[in-house]
Structures are given as structure tokens and as C-alpha cells.
Amino acid sequence: MAVEVQIFGTKSCKDTQKALRFFKERRIKTHYVDLQVRPAAAGELRRFGQKLGWGVLIDRQGKRFQERRLHLTSLTESQVLPLLEQDSLLLVTPLVRSGNELAVGWDEAQWRTFLKTAG
């Protein structure tokens, strides 16, 4: 079975670029979704949030989080999905999916697990 991964990120994100390079070097087919061009679909966000927790998806250290003054509020779980649907640039990137396996941010150990379980 051939391994394919889907990577959500932005061209300006260094970790997204490293993820793309990681899979390219291993000749893994990737489908890249540039969040600045096309936001992540609600279903994709829900898949990550339900499996990994909503809190890990928001980049609380990011410039966008500060610009929107979200650091001054406490977000409830029910507010996170609508917020991320509205503004995908608040996501921790990259989001990486291989089948039902998911990873958020730079997580080379998890990506290697994707490759082992698929191969």
C-alpha cells in the first residue's frame, strides 16, 4: 500500500517546509493545502480536534493570535472550531494526515510512525 500524506500549512511556516521536505526525501506522495489560499475544511478540523484535542490546534504563540487579541480571552472548546473555520492562520502548522493518523506541528517521530504502520 502506498503511503500518501496531506499537509496543511503556509509557505511562510518553516515547520511546514520541513514537513514537505521530510516526506519528499522519502519519496512519499504529498497533497499540500496552503491555508493562505484555501482554508481547512470544517470536517478536517473536526477530525484533528476530536482526536488530538482542540487546544493543540491553536497557535497561542503566533502573531495572528496576538493580533486578534485572543490572548486576552479564554476560549471554550465550542468556540475553537468556528474560530479556526473563520481564520485558518490561527492553526499550529503543519497539520499532517496519513489515513487516520494525525499529527500537529513539527512531529518527526509521529511521521516516522506513519511510515512504519503503512509500510
Q: How far apart are CA 81 and CA 87, in angstroms?
A: 10
List of domains in the chain: 4-118 (3.40.30.10)
For the entire predicted model, the pTM comes to: 0.90
Q: Give me the pLDDT at residue 119, please.
A: 65
Cis omega (within 30 of 0) for bond into 39: no
The answer on pLDDT for 117 being more than 90 is no
Sheet with 95-98, strands from edge to edge, namely 29-34, 4-9, 95-98, 101-104
The answer on pLDDT for 73 being more than 90 is no
pLDDT tens, position by position, 11-49: 999 999 999 999 999 999 999 999 999 998 999 999 999
The answer on pLDDT for 1 being more than 60 is no
